[in-house]
Chain A
Amino acid sequence: EAGVAQSPRYKIIEKRQSVAFWCNPISGHATLYWYQQILGQGPKLLIQFQNNGVVDDSQLPKDRFSAERLKGVDSTLKIQPAKLEDSAVYLCASSSTSGGRYFGPGTRLTVT
């Protein structure tokens, strides 16, 4: 079974620039999540999709972060404009209705 795919794996940008991350979940998984993991901490949920609808985006900084999952499969997460404190690993995960959550390899973002 193929896992969750993410790209790019690494990204370095300057503050105030924009960046976008892409995620392709495990085939058949209806639920997709974006997490932010700051070094030394556990993953923090940013947004959760069920098919192409948003289930929870309560911790997404909506003034600068946006995410979409237009066809209920792939998803993109965008940051515009980036701040220094956005430096983190952005993890995408997917799950079936009752199953565990499977994480992608993550995108390590460095904002300088």
Chain B
Amino acid sequence: GENVEQHPSTLSVQEGDSAVIKCTYSDSASNYFPWYKQELGKRPQLIIDIRSNVGEKKDQRIAVTLNKTAKHFSLHITETQPEDSAVYFCAASIRGTYKYIFGTGTRLKVLA
């Protein structure tokens, strides 16, 4: 069945450094890839998304890249700040549906 793998499961970076989280997906027909940030005890919040007709999207310190051939996409956070500390989930749409498959999450810790 459809699957989304996410790496790494945990990531620690120094404040100001960049963080990169990678996901791979199995369904070649997936066409929508959102990223969610979930702080401890809070709801997942959509922070950026990308559709399959573009290769990169940027929003201030956050960017997402998509490689359809290799079926992977990545979240890039530059100039990390302590408030970026959270669990980040990627997701990929399933062929012909609005259904997502979520990745297993990456716990990002930004060290001050």
**Which residues of A line the B interface, CB within 8 A?**
31, 40-45, 48, 55-56, 91, 95, 100-106
Contact = CB atoms under 8 A, between A and B. Distances in A.
Interface of B: 34, 36, 42-46, 49, 89, 91, 97-100, 102-105
Contacts of B42: 105
A103 B43 contact: yes
Nearest to A50: B98
A21 to B, nearest CB: 14
B104 A106 contact: no
Contact of A42 (B89, B97, B98): B89
B49 A100 contact: yes
A95 B98 CA distance: 10
Given A42-B103, A43-B44, 7 more contacts: A43-B89, A43-B102, A56-B97, A91-B43, A101-B34, A102-B46, A106-B43
A55 B98 contact: yes
17 contacts: A41-B104, A42-B91, A42-B104, A42-B105, A43-B44, A43-B89, A43-B102, A45-B100, A48-B98, A56-B99, A91-B43, A91-B44, A95-B98, A100-B34, A100-B49, A101-B100, A102-B46
